[in-house]
Amino acid sequence: MTLSPRPRTLRAAALITGLGLALSACSGGGDGGDSTLTAPGPEVLEGLDEAVQVEFWHSMDATNGQVLDGLIEDFNAQNEGRIEVTGSFQGDYDTALANHRAAIQQGDTAELIMIFDLGTQFMIDSGQTVPAQSFVDADGYDTGSIEGALLNYFTVDGELRSFPFNNSTPLMYINRDAFEEAGLDPDSPPTDLAEIREAAEELTVRDDDGTVVQYGFGAATYGWFVEQFMARAGVPYCDNANGRSGRATEVLFDDPKVVETVEWWEEMIDDELAVQIGRNTDDAQAAFTSGRAAMTLESTGSLGGFIERSDFEVGAGYFPLVGEGDPGGSIIGGASLWINGEGHSEQEVRASWEFVQYLLTPESQSIWHAGTGYLSVNTEGYDGPEAQERAEEFPQFSVAAAQLADSEINENTAGCMMGVMSEARATAEEGWETALTSDTPAADAMSDAADRLDTPIEEYNASVEE
Amino acid sequence: MTTTKTATAPPSPGTRSPRRTQGGEAALAWAFLTPSIVVFALFLAYPLGRTVYLSMHGNDIIGRPNRFVGLSHFAEMASPEFVKVLTTTLLFTIGTVVPGVVGALAIVLLLEGVIRGQRFLRGAFALPFAFSVASASVIFVVFYSPGNSVLNGVLYRLGLDQVPWLTSQDMALWSVCITTVWMNLGYGVLVLAAGIGSIPKEINEAARIDGATGVRLARDVTVPMLGPQLFFLIVISTINALQSFGQIHILTRGGPSGSTTTLVYSIFEDAFAYSTSDFGRASAQALVLLLVVLVCTAVQFGVIERKVHYA
């Protein structure tokens, strides 16, 4: 139950860490103190006796992990004797954040960490990292080719806080074969909820007994989609301009646009045009690739898997609008990279930044995008040989970039910045699910869920303002 | 696990040494006891004390206790949400203990009638016990998966209605119970099979001579003779049910809409799930869980054990 070590162990650990820091400060020869909260220049890496060690905590496993390891190896080879990066898989995003919390308690954080979008406000409030903006300013780093929607999300109070890296945006996927069989045009997939319903009526196939064998639609009740629907509709997810003009004090996912979406979802299930999935996105993926559901909603990152696993032609379209004429913004998801300054020397901070710069080059992003399906954070990455090859083979890969390029950049598409965002997403899912699985009307379910977050938000804000 | 010994091993009277304990011996005893006392203090007393401490404190965003809040975490539990959590826990416990124990008993009694291949069948029924919670749950994920459920595929071929295994608030808890019962059945079969093997043959023979067969033999002889094992199984299954986590996490993550959120799952959600690190609330609930387990076990010892016949 208890995670924190005994006070004595803690004292001993602090002592050892302190000694270690003192020693490293001596051997480093420079004036690297215990913490570096502004960006050091490139000169700190001159005249090193041995390579600076950078531990990189991330949440990439399987294919994505291998692509990342390849990039790390390549970087280490280029920087032999200067910088050595060691990747360390920390489990999924939530676990990685929990591990990072424990590391903060013990004063032993990694040099570089990957933290998901929902942890952004926490990362700012915990005050352990060097703001990304300070590297950009110190080096005159050009962010011009970095995807605007990503900079928009990770910029808070006019400062870029972290470096976007593995990011995605949700799309609508269609079974092109099913579209053709139903006499629909797979090249113009539905663009809003009403059109999805119309298409689903054609796509739903029943056997002789009237049991549905193919549903028109089926997607997970995934809280990220609520955020996306709201960005598409151009409404903020939380108050104070999505938490960007001041701390958010309440969530607004009981907005009529969300209620409309949930009601639509409910009717789709009641009329047997959509299969009820639940919260697990794996189940939604399985329903789509097995041909049970002809349309689904998923991240861009799933495209490769969809193409691999399904025996029909997979098409991709923009994430649906709630209603015709919505402004159609798009929000991003995924994680960004944070460089820890608290408890780290200038050398370590600078070395981490050099590695991040390497990851953001068009060359690295081309490999990353083609290998994983994540967006190319650097838009020039799409012109790289690996990305080009991939785009020729699967033109669907260009849809995500186009959807982001078409999105207006404003506070509504920046996403909500809030300390308890992870809990908010889960609570939105709960409200949505309550509407689908009980007699509670969608409006009540969503506003009850939104109200439940008042206390956590208040408590969080109080604890960081003290 | 001390319950094991109390329940299964009859106390053996008259083993205490009549010799008076001398000072040296007492010192020796303490010396031998020290390691276990240290281990006990380190891994039981300290965490318990720490839990009590945390339950009365609020956390900063890193999860460090930073303010005293007294009993307010406990006061907050007087809410409909927490009552729902307790109700779910109760239903889950009943829904797994009763079918688990009755099912294992039925299997063992029925297998008594099988002469050839009894050992093999017992082994086969005990097999689920060898599955880890994670792998058993993953198998059931495939069975229940919405849209692609193996079970629904079977029902469809039989011309029956589809069941929303995990996507209905009324059904999800029972689906998790089915998985849990399947997992626990093997253990029950093992324990009861061992028990039935230790019933003296003479008792059965005597009953048969008196004309008892089939149901009568099972009801009046075998089941009462299995009393200690059944009691042990009930106590252990109850504690297991109250502590279940893996299958809930893998199958439903407490949903839909909190319908499978048991006390343990609620503790997990507060402490770890949404990077909230609310160790204070979680610790307060953990103490409630401790209390529930203590009360359940005490009641079981007070009520059921009185009726258990130790041979």
Any domain includes A349: yes
A156 & A178 share domain? no
Burial class (CB in 10 A: 0-12, 13-18, 19+), A215: buried
Among B239, B113, B249, CA closest to B187: B239
Calculate the CA A256 to chain-centre distance. 25
Chain A residues close to B288, C-beta within 8 Å: none
Mean pLDDT value across chain A: 86
Cα nearest neighbour of A293 on chain B: B147
A222 & A278 share domain? yes
B113–chain A nearest CA distance, Å: 43
Any domain includes A246: yes
A202 & A290 share domain? yes
Identity of the residue in B62, B148, B167 whose CB atom sits nearest the CB atom of A437:
B167
Three-class secondary structure of residue B229 per DSSP: helix
Any domain includes A62: yes
The helix (H) or strand (E) run that includes residue A460 is helix A454-465
pTM: 0.82
CB contact under 8 A, B276 and A3: no
Mean per-residue pLDDT for A191-217? 90
Identity of the residue in B61, B156, B259 whose CB atom sits nearest the CB atom of A122:
B61
Which amino acid, residue A426? A
Return the CATH number at A192. Answer: 3.40.190.10
Question: Nearest 5 degrees, angle CA A409-CA A411-CA A415?
Answer: 95
Chain B residues close to A437, C-beta within 8 Å: 167-169, 256-257, 259
The domain total for chain A is 2
pLDDT tens digits, residue range A237-291? Answer: 999 889 888 899 999 999 999 999 999 999 999 999 999 998 888 889 989 999 9
Chain A residues close to B145, C-beta within 8 Å: 283, 286
pLDDT tens digits, residue range A219-238? Answer: 999 999 999 999 999 899 99
CB contact under 8 A, A422 and B274: yes
Three-class secondary structure of residue A54 per DSSP: strand
CB contact under 8 A, B256 and A98: no
A294 & A427 share domain? yes
Any domain includes A79: yes
A341 & A210 share domain? no
> Helices B150-157 and B133-144: crossing angle, nearest 10°?
40
Which amino acid, residue A440? T
Among A410, A254, A414, A400, CA closest to A331: A414
CB contact under 8 A, B46 and A6: yes
- Domains of chain B, each with CATH number or no CATH: 75-307 (1.10.3720.10)
The range of the structural domain enclosing residue A72 comes to 38-168+333-383
How far is A288 from A310, CA to CA, in rounded Å?
8
Whether the CA torsion A404, A406, A410, A413 is positive or negative: it is: negative
A237 & A293 share domain? yes
Mean per-residue pLDDT for A411-423? 88
How far is A211 from A213, CA to CA, in rounded Å?
6
Residues 273-292 of B with CB under 8 A from A: 273-277, 279, 282-283, 286
A197 & A286 share domain? yes
A139 & A235 share domain? no
How far is A228 from B117, CA to CA, in rounded Å?
60
Whether the CB-CB separation of B65 and B150 falls below 8 Å is answered with no
Q: What are A299-302's contacts with CB under 8 Å, separation 24+?
A: A299/A168, A299/A169, A299/A170, A299/A171, A299/A224, A299/A333, A300/A168, A300/A169, A300/A170, A300/A171, A300/A373, A300/A374, A300/A375, A300/A399, A300/A400, A301/A168, A301/A334, A301/A372, A301/A373, A301/A374, A302/A173, A302/A373
How far is B249 from A280, CA to CA, in rounded Å?
11
Q: Cis peptide leading into A186, omega within 30 of 0? A: no
Any domain includes A215: yes
Any domain includes A26: no
B222 Cβ contact partners less than 8 Å away, ≥ 6 residues apart? B109, B112, B196, B199, B204
pLDDT of residue A357: 94
Any domain includes A228: yes
Mean per-residue pLDDT for A130-137? 92
Question: What does the radius of gyration of chain A's CA atoms come to, in whole angstroms?
Answer: 23
A136 & A181 share domain? no
Whether the CB-CB separation of B132 and B247 falls below 8 Å is answered with no
CB contact under 8 A, B276 and A422: yes
A374 & A341 share domain? yes
Any domain includes A11: no
Question: What number of C-beta contacts closer than 8 Å exist between A and B?
Answer: 122
Q: What is the ipTM of this complex?
A: 0.79
A288 & A177 share domain? yes
pLDDT tens digits, residue range B123-179? Answer: 888 888 888 899 999 999 989 988 788 898 898 888 888 888 998 888 999 999 999
